[in-house]
Amino acid sequence: MGNYLSSKEGEVAILDATNTTRARRRMVAEFCANRRTLIDPPFRVFFVESICDDPDVINSNITEVKINSPDYKGIMTQEEAKEDFLKRIENYKLQYEPLDEEEDEDLSFIKHGESEYNQLGRLGGDSPLSENGLKYAEKLREYFEIKPMLMQ
C-alpha cells in the first residue's frame, strides 16, 4: 500500500482488513504517519467501522464473496470455506475493540449520511443516500478538502 501511494500511481488506497483491536489500528495509523518524506506529506488515514450481525447478510457475503477468495477457492469445499469463515468471525468477536470516542480521542467520528431506508425507519441494507444524505456527503467532502486529517 505504501509503495503504491508513494509511486504516485494512486491517491487513495483501501486497506480492507480486520483491524479489530486498538493496537492494530494504532500500528496502521503510525505506519501511515511515518511515511512522511521531504517532498511527501504523511498518508492520511481513517477507519471505517462496519458492524453487521444480520445472519442473512453474513451468509450472503460468505456465499457470494468469501468462498471464492484466494483464501478458499480450490483449497476447500464451499461448505468447509463457509464453516472456516464463520469460525474467523467468532474469533474476531473475541478480540474486537470497537472504535470509542473516549478511548480513541485522537480519531474523528463521523456518522454516515441519511439513507432512504433511514427515512423509512429501517436499519441496515444498502439503500442510496437520501437528498439530505447527499448534502451531508458534499459538506463532508468540503470539510476534508479544507481541514487535513492530523496524526498525533
Q: Which three cell numbers stand for residue 124?
A: 441496515
pLDDT digits (tens, 9 = 90+) for 97-127: 888 777 766 655 666 788 888 888 887 777 8
Q: Delimit the domains of the chain by residue range.
A: 1-51+98-109, 53-97, 114-152
pLDDT digits (tens, 9 = 90+) for 38-92: 666 777 777 888 778 888 888 888 888 888 888 888 898 889 999 999 999 999 9
Average pLDDT value over all residues in the chain:
80
Q: Are 20 and 96 in contact (CB under 8 A)?
A: yes
pLDDT digits (tens, 9 = 90+) for 26-40: 888 888 878 766 666
pTM equals: 0.58
In terms of phi and psi (left: phi > 0; alpha: psi -120 to 50; beta: otherwise), the region of 78 is: alpha
